A and B are shown apart, each in its own frame.
Chain A
């Protein structure tokens, strides 16, 4: 049996067509699937792919760019270990393997008419960037759009130029904060100092009929979720994307269960109300 065309089982080859350093350890990759019969690679923001680096292995990575972008798509990847180190050695036009897309993604078509608050911490900006672009592509359908992003320090801010551009848009609000600063503030970008929950308390945005989407490290969820509810956003309107160890992406390997839900196939995006009674979920 040669490559069966089932993209859930066999990684298809994708060529690295672009590579851009975003910070000391994080790189944005643009990939193009080689299979010409594939008419585009469509996905929902919040979904992820399983990325293979031959002889390294496979890791789950969120789709970071706008959906419906013909045959190419973007991944924003931090170098943290075995597979991501090997990926870092690759340059255009090297090839990687792609399975997916997997998972549910954010159900943003249900949010028409609502105000939308996106909160990203650190690398959590990857899926929320995808979501933001999807929302902006259909800007007219939603109420106020607010994007909050927190990074450790100015040099860790990802997508600086894009954020500077977005900050000039009249149809959305952008707030960026860093945990601490010892360097000069990043060029062209107004930046607060303090943690995201502090930012949340300090700025004005609509909290009625608002949907929030949050993505970041576990520590962020712990302090932010209660805060959002205190502001009047009900748990059923707070969406968060969870990270778990994943090996298969299709609900077989059994590493990623959260309560009785699989993070890979029932998630990775959950409503906070789904997770509330589950110990260890957040």
Chain B
């Protein structure tokens, strides 16, 4: 028996102690009825049972708009060390943790992105176990439920069993000990999901579903609104824009979220477009999501959070491609 059980009636103490480590953020229900990661406190109450936020936590690492470079005639192009406050993100579901682990692979891999690293270093991740709803399909994708988070909160009948995974997490757990009760350590849970398994298989086999009639069907219905990539925890493609300031001399270069379903995503100067049709843009999204590009080749980046299926205004669901394949196998 270890002192690792956080009882439900100790949550407010728990948050108070956490707040000494940094600014607390977590899932809340906003006034306009949206689930969102926001700063906690002053009326923003942490939700410990929720389905999924609309915008995933990638916004903490890759803000929708980020100044990457500044230019002034006497200073040339330069980076400014971003002043990133220590932030404690509480209540991340395993899929979102896995989304962050994927972004780490991309932005802290062979080529380290300095802005991402600064933000990532200042972020403490506190995971939270969850129950899947009809849109989730994380399955075994989240078997290692803790995916690099600092501290994990496993819901149990008595409250939450806490498990530290990093030195940061251990430091937090040490400070929490006085408010914890003795609890049993819970066995690791493995969740199985056919869909997750089908995606893994497609990714290993580089399955493109090239012949499927579904592409045309999707393309006909899609509005190119981009909601599916915007809300995806692992979609990170970006555009770079540079804007001159009013002084006519200094400049800021911005990195902004882009979207592969937008028409100009594959366009080059002169108007030639390498992905003119919606089908081509969908297939591009499919490839990136499930098969990977460049160094992430062979890594499926869909973490099964279900956001894209939940938000698409016309009910497009790329999973139908995998279902079609499964149906073919079961006559």
Chain A residue nearest in CB terms to B82: A1
Closest chain-A Cβ to B205's Cβ sits at a distance in Å of: 13
Residue B120 at the A interface, CB < 8 A?
Answer: no
B113 adjacent to A260 (CB under 8 Å): no
Main secondary structure of the interface of B (DSSP, over half): mixed
Residue B167 at the A interface, CB < 8 A?
Answer: no
A244 adjacent to B274 (CB under 8 Å): yes
Chain B residue nearest in CB terms to A265: B294
**Would you give the 0/1 interface string for A1-36, flagging 1 where the beta carbon is closer than 8 Å to chain B?**
111100011110100000000000000000000000
Q: Which listed residue, A11, A243, A254, touches B260 by the CB 8 Å rule? A: A254
Residue A247 at the B interface, CB < 8 A?
Answer: yes
Closest chain-A Cβ to B105's Cβ sits at a distance in Å of: 12
**Would you give the 0/1 interface string for A42-63, flagging 1 where the beta carbon is closer than 8 Å to chain B?**
0000000000101111110000
A9 and B113 CA atoms in complex are apart in Å by 8
Residue B238 at the A interface, CB < 8 A?
Answer: yes
A11 adjacent to B265 (CB under 8 Å): no
A10 adjacent to B80 (CB under 8 Å): no
Main secondary structure of the interface of A (DSSP, over half): loop
**Chain B residues closer than 8 Å to A259, beta-carbon distance:** 287
A202 and B270 CA atoms in complex are apart in Å by 31
Residue B14 at the A interface, CB < 8 A?
Answer: no
Which positions 47-106 of chain A face chain B at CB distance < 8 Å?
52, 54-59, 80-81, 84, 95, 97
Closest chain-A Cβ to B168's Cβ sits at a distance in Å of: 24
**Chain B residues closer than 8 Å to A265, beta-carbon distance:** 294
Residue A214 at the B interface, CB < 8 A?
Answer: no
Chain B residue nearest in CB terms to A261: B294
B293 adjacent to A245 (CB under 8 Å): no
Residue A255 at the B interface, CB < 8 A?
Answer: yes
A121 and B295 CA atoms in complex are apart in Å by 32
Chain B residue nearest in CB terms to A53: B242
A257 adjacent to B77 (CB under 8 Å): no
Q: Which listed residue, B77, B266, B268, B294, touches A266 by the CB 8 Å rule? A: B294
Which positions 49-83 of chain B face chain A at CB distance < 8 Å?
69, 71, 73, 75-81
A24 and B275 CA atoms in complex are apart in Å by 30
B294 adjacent to A260 (CB under 8 Å): yes
Residue A140 at the B interface, CB < 8 A?
Answer: no
A1 adjacent to B78 (CB under 8 Å): yes
Chain A residue nearest in CB terms to B206: A260
**Would you give the 0/1 interface string for B255-294, flagging 1 where the beta carbon is closer than 8 Å to chain A?**
0001010000111111010110000100010011001111
**Chain B residues closer than 8 Å to A58, beta-carbon distance:** 240, 242, 253
Q: Which listed residue, A54, A80, A253, A262, touches B71 by the CB 8 Å rule? A: A54
Chain A residue nearest in CB terms to B272: A218
A244 adjacent to B77 (CB under 8 Å): no
**Chain A residues closer than 8 Å to B295, beta-carbon distance:** 251
A2 adjacent to B292 (CB under 8 Å): no
**Chain B residues closer than 8 Å to A11, beta-carbon distance:** 69, 77
**Chain B residues closer than 8 Å to A255, beta-carbon distance:** 237, 239, 258, 265-266
**Chain B residues closer than 8 Å to A253, beta-carbon distance:** 237-240, 258
**Would you give the 0/1 interface string for B72-108, flagging 1 where the beta carbon is closer than 8 Å to chain A?**
0101111111000000000000000000000000110
A261 adjacent to B266 (CB under 8 Å): no
How many B residues have CB within 8 A of the partner chain? 50
A244 and B275 CA atoms in complex are apart in Å by 10
A252 adjacent to B251 (CB under 8 Å): no
**Chain A residues closer than 8 Å to B291, beta-carbon distance:** 260
**Chain A residues closer than 8 Å to B297, beta-carbon distance:** 260
Residue B114 at the A interface, CB < 8 A?
Answer: yes
Q: Which listed residue, A10, A247, A254, touches B77 by the CB 8 Å rule? A: A10
Residue A212 at the B interface, CB < 8 A?
Answer: no
Chain A residue nearest in CB terms to B298: A260
A257 adjacent to B294 (CB under 8 Å): yes
State whether A80 and B270 are in contact (beta carbons under 8 Å apart), knowing that A1-B78, A251-B294, A253-B240 are contacts in the complex.
Answer: yes
Q: Which listed residue, A247, A251, A279, A280, touches B111 by the CB 8 Å rule? A: A251
Chain B residue nearest in CB terms to A250: B111
State whether A257 and B293 are in contact (beta carbons under 8 Å apart), knowing that A9-B79, A251-B111 are contacts in the complex.
Answer: yes
A261 and B272 CA atoms in complex are apart in Å by 20
State whether A8 and B111 are in contact (beta carbons under 8 Å apart), knowing that A55-B242, A266-B294 are contacts in the complex.
Answer: yes
**Chain A residues closer than 8 Å to B315, beta-carbon distance:** none
Closest chain-B Cβ to A169's Cβ sits at a distance in Å of: 33
B293 adjacent to A4 (CB under 8 Å): no
B294 adjacent to A54 (CB under 8 Å): no
A244 adjacent to B292 (CB under 8 Å): no
A258 and B99 CA atoms in complex are apart in Å by 24
Residue A248 at the B interface, CB < 8 A?
Answer: yes
Q: Which listed residue, B78, B81, B206, B294, touches A262 by the CB 8 Å rule? A: B294
State whether A55 and B244 are in contact (beta carbons under 8 Å apart), knowing that A8-B111, A251-B294, A254-B293 are contacts in the complex.
Answer: yes
B236 adjacent to A54 (CB under 8 Å): no
A251 and B258 CA atoms in complex are apart in Å by 15
A58 and B243 CA atoms in complex are apart in Å by 11
Chain B residue nearest in CB terms to A8: B111
Residue B241 at the A interface, CB < 8 A?
Answer: yes
**Would you give the 0/1 interface string for A139-176, flagging 1 where the beta carbon is closer than 8 Å to chain B?**
00000000000000000000000000000000000000
Residues of A within 8 A of B (CB): 1-4, 8-11, 13, 52, 54-59, 80-81, 84, 95, 97, 217-218, 243-245, 247-248, 250-255, 257, 259-262, 265-266, 279-280
Residues of B within 8 A of A (CB): 69, 71, 73, 75-81, 106-107, 111, 113-114, 206, 210, 236-244, 249, 251, 253, 258, 260, 265-270, 272, 274-275, 280, 284, 287-288, 291-295, 297
Given pairs A3-B79, A255-B258, 8 additional interface contacts (CB within 8 A): A1-B81, A9-B79, A54-B73, A55-B249, A58-B240, A253-B258, A254-B236, A261-B294
